[in-house]
A and B are shown apart, each in its own frame.
Chain A
């Protein structure tokens, strides 16, 4: 199986998931070994997803947790 760049991009998400069959995985890896553009696309995508998934990416409003638990407490008291 010989893949061009577009085939690799179409599979990049499944590849990151580990959701490609062994034959396809091998074909993708063969392509990646010889194509620095696709290798950079894969590395950048993966890295960006790691950054996106980091807790620090989103800021929680000051006092969010206190207000949340105050609401919970109110509910517990009123319905308990």
Chain B
């Protein structure tokens, strides 16, 4: 199901839920429950907190379903609630630790950041994600990004929000989203490209087919 079909399905379910068939809420959120977890985990970096925040977001969505406006996608609305829930928890945790909540804003200039200059890149196939080592490398790289960059990367490249949707969810301008996105993407490249491309590193064997030594 894509695009319009999804919107129609969601709109129909929402109408029926609001009319009293509340059990249908299970069906409405089911396709998005993974996305919710990706969102809360990316921000909170802890399984239990991420699960709690995702649950809380779903309950808030149920309570506030009447406020949902069909001009946005239900998935975007739902994930935005999860992002806000996770951010609120993060802020709360910082306050409890007596840490300053007003982070000094990192350099917002997108320019001036140097990627990892490699001369050759061989594509890492998606099947390689079956390997735990690769998943861990990716997760570690995401976790290492400062929060403001992790959030835009999550919304645009994982959750596939548009630039405008990401800007609305994070309450910043589209220009800020684009600048942060550039930085986030180049940071990911800088961290990961040398590890994934180096023929000398131990990871090289990760993408080789054991039998033939060829790339799959």
Contact = CB atoms under 8 A, between A and B. Distances in A.
Which size bracket describes the interface of B in this complex?
35 or more
A44 B189 contact: yes
A50 B126 contact: yes
B interface secondary structure, majority: helix
B197 interface: yes
Given A55-B34, A67-B55, A71-B58, A76 B185 contact: no
B158 A52 contact: yes
Contacts, number: 148
A61 B51 contact: yes
B188 interface: yes
Interface stretch (B2-10, B86-94, B108-116): B108-116
Interface residues of A, number: 45
B176 interface: no
B51 A64 contact: yes
Interface string A39-78: 1110111011111111111111100110111011101100
Interface of A: 5-6, 9-10, 12-14, 16-17, 19, 36-37, 39-41, 43-45, 47-61, 64-65, 67-69, 71-73, 75-76, 79-80
